[in-house]
Amino acid sequence: MTSGTATRRLAERQQVLAEIQQAQTGAAQRRQRLSWAAWGAAALIIGVIVAIALITSQPTTSTDVRVAPDFTLPASDGSNVSLADYRGEPVVLYFNEGAGCDSCLLQMAEIEKDPAFAEAGITVLPIVMNTAEQINADRERLGVQAPFLLDDGTVSAAYDTLGKGMHEGLPGHGFVLIDADGQQLWHGNYPSMWLAPADLLEEVTSRL
């Protein structure tokens, strides 16, 4: 092999190596750009999800006044409770998802701990679409004293509470204020699954 041929082949190999290195560098740059694009898209998606969550978790309220639909429901302690039993005093109906929703029961447990409701003469009646066995198991586990009223969906529908939470066929996390004359004065839905008892009491007493 002549020196000229060897030199030419060496130059060719160096050219090939340079082209390979250039291709590898270009591929790495493209991967990096795709990676940044993927991260950007993921961040955008997360931002949209967070924004939607914030919007959908905002409470909604209504102050439309109407005659509160009457009802009689069995309670988880075996009794029967009628709305008419409370005529002459304000009542707050607490519609919630019930069994399986610990935050729903803890909401009631915290309301029970606040003596201001009794001092204001306000009764809170929790209403769920469960059997007594289902809700009582959670009541005992979480230390809730009040019996829950057991609805088949009729009362929840009458008060427009179905589908206001995470499940289409169940109540969400809502409160309805009924005054001593049986008038519905206020209705609040709380998709965040929580309303501080002090805030609930302030909402209620400010409208009586």
Phi/psi at 8 (nearest 5 deg)?
-65, -45
Q: Which string of b and e fits 159-178 if b means at least 16 CB within 10 Å?
A: bbbbebbeeeebbbbbbbbb
- Least Cα distance to 136 among 125, 151, 150, 123 occurs for 150
Residue 104 annotated to the active site: yes
Distance, CA of 5 to CA of 121 (rounded, Å): 106
The active-site residue, picked from 75, 81, 91, 104, is: 104
CA 124 to chain centre: 21
SS3 206: coil
Phi/psi at 140 (nearest 5 deg)?
-65, -40
Mention every residue, 6+ apart, whose C-beta is less than 8 A from residue 143. 109
> 197-205 vs 102-113: helix axis angle to the nearest 10?
70
CA atoms within 13 A on the CB side of 66: 10
* Residues labelled as active-site residues: 104
